[in-house]
Amino acid sequence: MDVFLQQCLNAISLGGIYALLALGLAVVFSIVSLINFAHGELMTLAGYAIYAALLFAMPLPVALCAGVIAAALAAMAIERVAFRPMRRADATSLLITSFAVSVILRVLFQNGISARPKPVALPPELSGVVTFGPVHLSVIALASIAITILSLAALSLFLTRTTMGRAMRAAAEDFQVLRLMGIRANRVIAVAFGISGALAGVSAALWIAQRGSVDPLMGFVPVLKAFIAAVIGGLGSLPGAVAGGFALGIAEVLFQAFLPPEALPFRDAFVLSLVVAVLIWRPDGLIPAKTGRRS
Amino acid sequence: MIPMSSAPFLTVTDLSVRYGAVEAVHGLSLEVERGSVTVLLGANGAGKSSTLAALTGLAPAKGGLHFDGLSLTGMMPEEIVRHGIALCPEGRRVFPSLSVADNLHLGGAAHVKGEVLAARIEAELDRFPILRERFHQRAGLLSGGEQQMLAIARALMSAPRLLLLDEPSLGLAPKVVDQVFDLVLSLRDQGITILLVEQNAERALDIANRGYVLQSGRLVLSGSGAELAGSDLIRQAYLAG
């Protein structure tokens, strides 16, 4: 019972990280039809910002916020410097630009900081367990789930209650008409990148809390998974990204926990077969995006 | 009703619109008088929508575009609407997954905030009572006629001085078409100048002060509504007889 519950918590907390990352990809994709491959580097950058803030003896909550803000600002800077000049370019050029940004950032991390992992010291309370009667659950998994839920709720309030949030949903459906209403395209795109970066920052905080170190390639694997999650969910669909993220995280943890030991090396093969099955069943993803006209 | 002044409100001189190798509009000149209804007629692909796209900054335009003493050439769509030109685009193009409320909100949010915005929404709901009934529904679930009303209301949320209407009667039931044309007249009576693109030449010329006819991107005929309704070209091409 104990193990099963703990595995469920792990599954949900990993799924939450994938969901936040996939959501970051989807927010940008839904508006500018760009798959931002530099998303992983945003996550890594947030990791280093958290590491640096802790080095300067800042309290943990402050350091985590610093990571989120750093990633959001970096995402907006990347949009301004790399993607805005390419606004009229085709999808392939945008894709290659995002690869270039990703490689440049990775080299900067490797040569400017260190190719080796930097340990991030977390307060010991976080690695403890809480006990509910007979059940022991890890603090990190619970905190991670709570933060994921808070982030999703905040984003959903933003998208439904604010003018900018409504504008972002409208931009995903018909950007031209949104501009006709007088809403500035550049501002909507900048905010979309900022939110995407902030989501990468939150994921970085959760990821580091579970692994305790930062390295230049930290963002690569989780963002690759998040990309798969976004595709399962329906590329460009925000609810789809969340569903896909949780589905993938839960599938990974459950296979990890309950596959027989001799089949464990093939865990990813099992997970990806499941992905293929989902896409055969629903080629546009679990919750397909509404395709609109884009400028 | 606003008194008509003699200086043209909108002047288009020698306008050309080119998409890559295709020239959609060629050397078009026209004038829209303040407080009038002006109609742009022509078959599919004649360049009517491209002209409206040029006027709103959506299409690359060469030539002179002057609105109330202001040159529009090179302006972005976001700026042009701030100067008082709103486009209600062809095919309605409401935001389908957003509610009627959110569609209206976005129509006005760049121009006014808070209580003024709420008051404008309220005024549009008074103008279109059906939108009040559908206020919290998603726009994609409305009927064609309701979506057209929403698209016009959304364009009016910016309180335009010039309203560009692109085929507002297309695909609507005859009763709803009547409503649309009545609405155009009542908007004109409230002082909003109208530039109307239509396939329904008979109805459009009926309410037009002035009309222009385009063919393959060129102006082939212009005149008052009555003159055009009596012309051979229009009778043969549009009025079936």
Residue B98 in this model has a pLDDT that exceeds 50 = yes
**Nearest CA to CA, how far is A65 from chain B (Å)?**
31
* Residue B56 near chain A (CB below 8 Å): yes
The closest CB to that of B158, out of A169, A178, A182, belongs to: A182
B102 touching chain A per CB within 8 A = yes
Q: What is the mean pLDDT of residues A184-194?
A: 96
Chain A partners within 8 Å of B58 (Cβ): 176, 179-180
Taking all residues of chain A, what is their mean pLDDT, rounded to a whole number? 91
ipTM of the complex: 0.91
Cα three-residue angle A242-A248-A251, rounded to 5 degrees: 135
Of B41, B31, B39, residue with least CA distance to B234: B41
Question: Is the CB of A238 inside 8 Å of chain B's CB atoms?
Answer: no
Q: What is the pLDDT of residues A126-174, one digit of tens each?
A: 778 888 777 778 888 899 999 999 999 999 999 999 999 999 999 999 9
Outline where A113-266 has alpha helix (H).
139-161, 163-173, 175-180, 185-211, 220-233, 238-258
In chain B, the residue whose alpha carbon lies closest to the alpha carbon of A295 is: B58
CB B181 within 8 A of CB B170: no
Complete domains list, chain B, with CATH: 10-93+161-237 (3.40.50.300)
In this predicted structure, the answer to whether residue A293 has a pLDDT above a threshold of 60 is no
CA distance B229 to chain A (A): 32
pTM for this structure?
0.91
Average pLDDT over residues A98-109: 95
User: Residue B56: its chain A contacts at CB < 8 A?
Assistant: 180
Residue of A nearest to B78 (CA): A182
CB contact under 8 A, B106 and A163: yes
pLDDT at residue B67 greater than cutoff 80: yes
pLDDT band at A1 (very low <50, low <70, confident <90, very high): low
Residue B229: what pLDDT? Answer: 84
Which of B87, B96, B105 faces A166 most closely, judged by CB atoms? B105
pLDDT at B236: 75
Mean pLDDT calculated for residue range A236-249 = 94
Phi/psi region, residue B75 (left: phi>0; alpha: psi -120 to 50; beta: rest), is beta
Q: What's residue A131's pLDDT? A: 82
Lowest mean pLDDT among A58-72, A82-96, B119-133: A82-96
Task: Report how far residue B149's alpha carbon sits from residue B146's, in angstroms, rounded to the nearest whole number.
Answer: 5
**pLDDT number for residue B230:** 84
Chain B contact for A165 (CB, 8 A cutoff): no
B172 pLDDT above the threshold of 80: yes
Interface contact A181-B107, CB threshold 8 A: yes
- Return the pLDDT at A135: 78
Among A166, A180, A290, A293, most B C-beta atoms within 10 A, so best to mutate, is A180
pLDDT of residue B5: 52
Which residues neighbour B184 within 8 Å (Cβ) at sequence distance 6 or greater? B37, B165, B168, B194, B196, B207
Choose the mutation target among A90, A160, A177 for the interface with B, i.e. most B CBs under 10 Å: A177
Q: Do B58 and A174 touch (CB under 8 A)?
A: no
Q: What pLDDT, on the 0 to 100 scale, is given for residue A294?
A: 38
| B99 vs A contacts (CB less than 8 Å) | none
d(CA A194, CA A215): 23
Region B109-131: mean pLDDT is 96
User: What values do phi and psi take at B223, rounded to 5?
Assistant: 165, -175
B81 chain-A contacts, CB cut-off 8 A: 180-182
Task: Give the Cα separation of A194 and B135 in Å (integer).
Answer: 31
Report CA-CA distances (Å) from B12 to A53, A162, B9, B161, B210: 59, 38, 10, 17, 15
Higher pLDDT, B98 or A87: B98
Q: Which helix (H) or strand (E) holds B109?
A: helix B100-109
pLDDT value for B71: 94
Q: What per-residue confidence (pLDDT) applies to B68?
A: 93
Average pLDDT in the A188-207 region? 97
* CA–CA distance, A158 with A174 (Å, rounded to integer): 19
The angle, 0 to 180 degrees and rounded to 10, between the axes of the packed helices A220-233 and A267-281 is 30
Domains of chain A, residue spans: 2-219
Please compute the mean of the pLDDT values over residues B27-37 and round it to a whole number. Answer: 94
Of A166, A173, A180, the CB nearest to B77: A180
Please give the average per-residue pLDDT across B129-136, as a whole number: 96
User: What pLDDT is stored for residue B241 in this prediction?
Assistant: 41
Dist CA B176 CA B183 (whole Å): 10
pLDDT value at residue B94: 97
Question: How confident is the model over A3-18, as pLDDT tens digits?
Answer: 888 888 889 999 999 9
Q: Which is it for the CA torsion B213, B219, B221, B223, positive or negative? A: positive
pLDDT band per the 50, 70, 90 thresholds, residue B6:
low
Angle between helices A238-258 and A267-281 (to 10 degrees): 140
B84 touches A: beta carbon within 8 Å: no
Question: Which chain B residue's Cα is nearest to A161?
Answer: B102
* Highest averaged pLDDT of the listed ranges A87-101, A122-136, B150-164: B150-164
- Please answer whether residues B121 and B157 qualify as being in contact, where contact means their C-beta atoms are separated by less than 8 angstroms: yes
The string of DSSP codes covering A11-68 is: HHHHHHHHHHHHHHHHHHHHHH----TTHHHHHHHHHHHHHHHHHTT--HHHHHHHHH
B152 → chain A, closest CA residue: A181
